[in-house]
Every structure is written in structure tokens, then in C-alpha cells.
Structure 1
Amino acid sequence: MRKKRAVAAAKAAGVDCLLVTHLPDVRYLSGFTGSNAALVLAGGRAVLFTDGRYTAQAKAEAVGTRVVIAKKPAVAAACEWIDAAGVKRCGFDATQTTVAALEAMRKAVSAKLRRGIFQPVKPLVAGLREVKDVEEIAVMRKAASLGCRLFDGMLSFIQLGLTEVAVAAELEHAARLAGAEAMSFETIVASGERSALPHGRATQVKLPRRGFVTLDFGVIVNGYCSDMTRTVHMGKALPGEREVYDAVLEAQEAGVAKVAPGVTCAEVDEAARSVLRRAGLDKYFSHSTGHGVGLEIHEGPRLAAKQTQVLEEGMVVTVEPGVYMPGKFGVRIEDMVLVTAAGGEVLTPSVKAWIEL
């Protein structure tokens, strides 16, 4: 069914063939999880090209897809097949294809076809991936649930004297023991003044006697990512810190409440951002409100100002407003939210209320 939808999307884009080289797209359409592959969709044919390392794996995973073990680069072999098949217009994802890669694709076909055979198209497969099916949602629930259990466990681990790296290492170790294939991205642990860094990677800095600690992390289960952020406080809060936390929490919950089919991404962003604006904190909110999650940690749609894309049932997005005050502190709270017919369902329901450790 996925391949049929991709073929239909390619036809609507004016091409009679689709060359897929972005590995998450290849996996989505064929099931193949190897690190080297190209997939060709031409009419009713689907052909996967990879190398000899994946002979058994490709045949086991890519059910319903012809597998070709190439003796040359997979993309080059795929282009030669496209040429031999008489394809006139082959679409490729321009957002995932470098100038050098396109030149190599052209060199792999006959000279008479080099100028016009490859046609850039919008990310067709990535667009299909934005709406998750029942099986994908079930896997993402597992990933999100595991993330919640990990955070709950960290609350009894975090203590004065530990380094940010030690906290990240404990979380990642627990994740692997609990069945995660890997982390969705490099775990963020940012404490004290460093909590004002939206992407503060864990360092050897020790957790403060008094101050915020932000944990932003995700796990991969069966190829699908989770993503969540919680901010806790070490010791008693100074004047203003609790007020900022409460404003971010209110903004985050307002964004979650806005999620529903038919709502634009900009409307969700504004729901969260307007709360911070009323609190006089919007100038410290320096990124978009959220993004899609799936086989990649950052997918469409993007929840941001001026984004007119409409949310659809089956999408999974993050809602993650934050306030970052350089030299002082930062707060971010993030949930994964499933778009359902009834609205937004939070997949990461770990506690978000104020926590002092």
C-alpha cells in the first residue's frame, strides 16, 4: 500500500518513476534497514539495490520487493536499471540529493538521457510518512512509554555532585537495558546557567546546588523515535524561577490543547507563544514550537509561525516551548502528541508539575 501511494504521488508530480535514496524513505517503503540502498519505483515494479553485505538481510526484510545485489554503488546500479527500463522522467527528492550525487546519477545513464531524465520533486515519501498508520502508532507508543519510564527512574538518580555526563550516561545505559535500539539523538543534559542553552549537550559540569536541570532525550524502538523534555530544579527556587517555569508549562499545555485535525501548524505555535507573550517572556523563546517525529527525530510537519500546513489525524508532533535567559537559566517542557479525531493525545504523560530535588 505504501509503495502504491508513493507511485501515485510520483504520477501526480509528473514523473513516471521515483528514485528513493534517503534511507528512512527506503525503509518506510520496503522494510529494508541496511546502511546502503537505493529503491526504484516504476509503475508496478519496485526494485531495491544494495551490496553484498546485505544479501540475506535484504531478502528477509524487503518482502514484496525485488532485490538486486549490486557490484557497484547502489545508486549507480539503480540509475542503470532506470535507463535500461526506458524511463523518460525519473523523480528524485531534491532535498536529499547533493549536486555531486545528482551528477553521479546522470553519469550512470546514457548520454542522450543525462540532460532531462532526472526531475527534482518535493519530498513525496517524507510527506507520506507524516501520517502514521496503526502499526507505526503502536510502535511509537512503546518508544514514548519507555522514555517516560526512563525519566521517572532518573528522578531518584539525579543528585548533587553528579556531572551532566554522568546523568546522560545513566539514562542511556538504562535505555539500552530496557530494550532501546539506540537514542534518538545525543542526550541533552543542561544544568544551572547552561540550561539556557536550547541544545546544551552534556558536559563534565557538575549539577548545581541550586538551579534548573533540563533533560531532553529520546529512544529508538523498531526504528521509530521518541522525544521528550523535562526540566527539574535542584534546591529551592529563587524569586522568578518558579514563575517562569509555570509560564512555560501553561504555554506547553496550551499548545497541546490546540492540537487537532484541521488546525494549522501556525495556530498551535501561536497558542503556546501567546502565553509567553502575555507573560513578557516571548523574546526568550527562540525556536519553533514543535516538529513531527517518526523514523527520524525531526520530520514534518513543523509547528511554527506562518506554517499553513494543516494537522491530520495520525500525525505525531512535539509541543516544546521554552524560555532561555542567557547567563541565568532556561526551562523547556516537551511532549509527543498524537493527532486523533478527538484532538491531541499526549504519548509522554510523565509528570510536568514543578519538581524540586
Structure 2
Amino acid sequence: MPNNEVDPTARVDYPARVSALATSSQDGPPPDAILISAASNIRYLSGFTGSNALLLVTRGGATLFTDPRYAIQAAQECPFPARIEKGPLIQAVSRALKTSKLRRLAFERNRMGFDAWETLKRAVPPSCNLLPVNSAVERLRMRKSPQEVEWIRESVETNSRALRRAMKRFRAGMRESELAAEIDYQSRRAGAEMPAFETIVAAGPRSALPHARPTHAKIETKAMLLIDMGAFQNGYASDMTRTMFVGKAPKRFKTMYRAVLEAQLAAIDTVRPGVSAAKVDLAARAVLESSGFGDAFVHSTGHGLGLEIHEPPRIGKKEKTVVEAGFVITIEPGVYFEDYGGIRIEDTVVVTDTGCEILTPTSKELVEL
């Protein structure tokens, strides 16, 4: 099978994932059931990819609630029983709960809206306690299986291939939005399902905006060009940033670029099982501070990714999470100056038993366009 046609349902043991969640310890004894409302968590636990669903997980398995638009899809994707409902799903779940003997029902406090919570609260029997849990599924998702790592690798390689093809069509004077559209087009052609986020193309002083949106401004010569892009493939995200210079790079740009690259490499060198996420962040921050750019580094060093572009853990100054083999994270230090521009270099890496592997194949050598 070609690399861009990996079966996204291959070798996924959804009942094992559901069992791991049902028996996991939150802030006390495991609940009798947990109601999953986040689409990414429902996909992780059941394989269902529809846009409207709830998943009720118990120690005996799971039940999917969705609407008639997804009846065929649910039967194809989800190994658990599906209830096809025509009205609001939270009300359907509530009706099912009224006859249950649940004593402890957990729900995703960081994912459920207030209206849905109120409906649920009114529906549960008086003997049932509602337990808010935070990131219960996300904690399981942090450690990727070998198959998940391979899907992310596919996405990363597609992302890099798209940048390489798009830059062959680059010319000075292109608009930021034009280059962003070319990147998205090449990404789709290379096998991506969709961008993982709105592609960032920012030139000149606008590159000092870490989350700049492409505009109709022209990419002129004698300016830096920052591109931050990602793709979803097989449902899994990739993320990469490269900063180039249009024309011959001046000394100031080269100095900044060298400092950011050294910071990124220092952080990558720190990644290994047993190290805290904060220590990885500190490794990058220490290099930039020693280079005189500490105050220009205004965000965290990275984040986890997988079924979502931003997942735990956050690679930041106060993040206590200990890195484990199987984590997939980004390493992306950057420095930004309002009247000049910004430089960020980002790779996706997977934590191994002894360190980490850089999945991103795109070169980090300074590029002059």
C-alpha cells in the first residue's frame, strides 16, 4: 500500500482503550461511567469520525450516540453499539440514564458546554453523583502507540513534501496569501486530508507575530519569511516552522537564526524519558538568554500533537509532566522583534526509549531565496 494510503483503522484496539479509560484512576475510585463529548476523544476511543456524537463509556464497554446522518458511518467505523437519535444527543443520553443504576457518572469538564451540563444534571437520578474530570482521555492519548507514531510520521513527511513543492513556485513579489494557498494546495496533492491549522505565511516585520495570518501583502526582497504549516493525514497532525530570507541575509538575521537553531537543538538534545517538560523548555530558554534574546522568546518551547494539533503536554516553564517514550511533541523556540521580524524553527519529534527521533525531514540550514 502506498505511504499516503495507510488504513487509519489498522491495528487499533478500541475496546482496550475504552477499558483503560474505564479503569483509570481520576481523583478517587473509577466512576461507573464517563460521558465523552470531545470529538477527538470519541475518535480515539471508538474510531468514529462524525461531527455529532457522544460516547458513554462503562466498565462493560461503550455506547455511541449519534444522529441519522451517521447511521451507516457509525456501523462502519465504531465497534460498539450505536444509538441513532433524531433529537439533541444530550437529551437522548439523559433519557438512557434515567433508568440506570449509576452511582458515579463522570463528564469532561474541559469539553462539555454549560447547557449540556445543565441538561445532564437535571436528568441523572438523585442517587447519581456527577463527577467533573479534566483531560482523562487526553492523558491516555499522550503516549502514542507505534501505529500512531507511523501515522504522524506520514503526516510529517507529507507536510515537508508540500513545503518543498510550494517553494519551487515561490518568487519575490508573491503575496503571503498566494504562497499560503500554494502550500495548502500542495499539501492536499501530497496526501493530506486538510491543513492542521490556518497556514502561517508572514514576511518582513509581520513575522514578529507568532500567529500571523496571511495577508495580501507582497513578500518583498530583503525580508525574512516565516512559514508555519501542518497537515492532517490518517487523522493525525504534523507541525513545522521554517524561517527563510528573501535575498542575501544580513548579519543581524544570521545572528538571530544561529541563536534560535542552537536553542532548538539544545532542547531536542534534552528530550528523553524521565525528563520534565519544564527542563526541555529551560534548555532552549537558556541558550536564547545567553545570546541576549531571552526577552524576545515570548511563548513556550512546544506542545504535544496527535489527533489534535495542540495536545498535552505543554513544553513550558512550569509544566511538571515527565516525558515518556511514545510522546510526540514539537520543539519550536523563536525570537520576535516588532520593527524587524521574527524567527522560529520547529520540528516534530517522538520520544524513544533512549532519547528522541526528529521526524521532520526538512533541512534547518539557513535558506536564502
- State the TM-score, normalizing by the size of structure 1: 0.96
Alignment partner, residue 272 of structure 1: 284
Paired with 1:108 and 1:346, the residues of 2 have a C-alpha distance of 49
Counterparts of 1:88 and 1:70, CA distance in 2 = 25
Structure 1 residue 168 corresponds to structure 2 residue 183: no
- Residue aligned with 1:155, SS: helix
Structure 2 match to 1:26: 42
State yes or no: 1:215 paired with 2:220. no
User: Cα deviation per residue 1:251-282 (whole Å; 9 max; x = unaligned)?
Assistant: 01111111111110000000011000000101
Question: Are 2:119 and 1:104 equivalent residues in the alignment?
Answer: yes
1:342 is displaced (CA, Å) by 2.0
Residue number in structure 1 paired with 2:103 = 88
**2:54 pairs with 1:38:** yes
For structure 1, the residue ranges without an aligned partner over 5 or more in a row are: none
Aligned twin of 2:78: 62
Question: Conserved in 2, the CA contact under 8 Å of 1:319 and 1:335?
Answer: yes
Task: Extract structure 1 runs of 4+ deviating beyond 6 A.
Answer: none
Q: Is the 8 A contact 2:161 2:187 kept in 1?
A: no
In the alignment, the residues of structure 2 paired with residue 200 and residue 297 of structure 1 have an alpha-carbon distance, to the nearest angstrom, of 17
User: Which residue of the partner structure matches residue 231 of structure 1?
Assistant: 243
Tell me by how many angstroms 1:306 deviates: 1.7
Taking the aligned partners of 2:188 and 2:119, their CA distance within structure 1 comes to 39
Give the corresponding residue for 2:66.
Answer: 50
Matched residue, 2:152: 140
Aligned with 2:224: secondary structure? strand
Which whole-Å deviations, capped at 9, do the CAs of 1:283-338 have from their partners, x for residues lacking one?
00000000000000000001000211100100100000000000111000000010
Q: CA deviation at 1:195?
A: 0.6
Contact 2:198 2:213 in 1 (8 A): yes
CA contact (8 A) 2:104 2:129 kept: yes
Q: Paired residue for 1:155? A: 167
Query: CA separation in 2, counterparts of 1:106 and 1:201?
Result: 41
Q: Secondary structure at the match of 1:313?
A: coil
The answer to whether the Cα contact below 8 Å between 2:278 and 2:315 also exists between their aligned partners in 1 is: yes
Determine the C-alpha separation between the residues in 2 that align with 1:155 and 1:35.
Answer: 34
Moved more, 156-165 or 225-234: 156-165
Which one is further off, 90-99 or 24-33?
A: 90-99
**CA shift in 2, pair 1:30/1:7, >3 Å:** same
1:102-137 deviation line (CA, Å, top 9, x unaligned): 112123335x35xx5311012110110111011111
Q: Which residue of 1 aligns with 2:215?
A: 203
Can you list the C-alpha shifts for 1:43-77, whole angstroms capped at 9, x where unaligned? 213100000000000011002x1111013212221
**Residue-pair matches, total:** 353
Q: Are 1:191 and 2:203 counterparts?
A: yes
Q: Does structure 2 retain, via aligned residues, the 8 Å contact 1:21–1:75?
A: no
Give the CA deviation at 1:205: 0.5
Q: Is the CA contact 2:26–2:136 (under 8 Å) kept in the aligned structure 1?
A: no
State the AA in 2 paired with 1:132: K
Aligned equivalent of 2:317, options 294, 297, 305? 305
In the alignment, is the contact (CA less than 8 A) between 1:39 and 1:78 conserved in 2? no
Amino acid at match of 1:69: I
Secondary structure (helix, strand or coil) at the match of 1:291 reads strand
Superposition CA RMSD, Å: 1.3
CA contact (8 A) 1:313 1:340 kept: yes
Q: C-alpha separation between the residues in 2 aligned to 1:174 and 1:84? A: 53
Equivalent-residue separation in structure 1 for 2:97 and 2:20 (angstroms): 20
2:163 and 2:26 mapped to 1: Cα distance? 45
SS state at 2:124 partner? coil
Q: 2:304 aligns with which of 275, 292, 302?
A: 292
CA–CA distance in structure 2, aligned partners of residues 124 and 31 of structure 1: 17
Per-residue CA deviation, residues 208-254 of structure 1 (Å, 9 max, x unaligned), is 21111011010001111110000110011233111001100110111
Verify the 8 A CA contact 1:338 1:344 in the aligned structure 2. Answer: yes
Give the Å deviation of 1:11.
7.0
Code of the aligned partner of 2:95? E
The percent of aligned pairs where both chains have the same amino acid is 42
The residue number in structure 2 matching 1:16 is 32
Q: Distance in 2 between matches of 1:187 and 1:320?
A: 16
What CA distance in whole angstroms lies between the structure 2 residues aligned with 1:156 and 1:173? 13
Secondary structure of the residue that 2:63 maps to in structure 1?
A: strand
> CA–CA distance in 1 between the matches of 2:242 and 2:319?
26
The amino acid across from 1:74 in the alignment is L
Query: What CA distance in whole angstroms lies between the structure 2 residues aligned with 1:99 and 1:28?
Result: 24
Q: Secondary structure at the match of 1:9?
A: coil
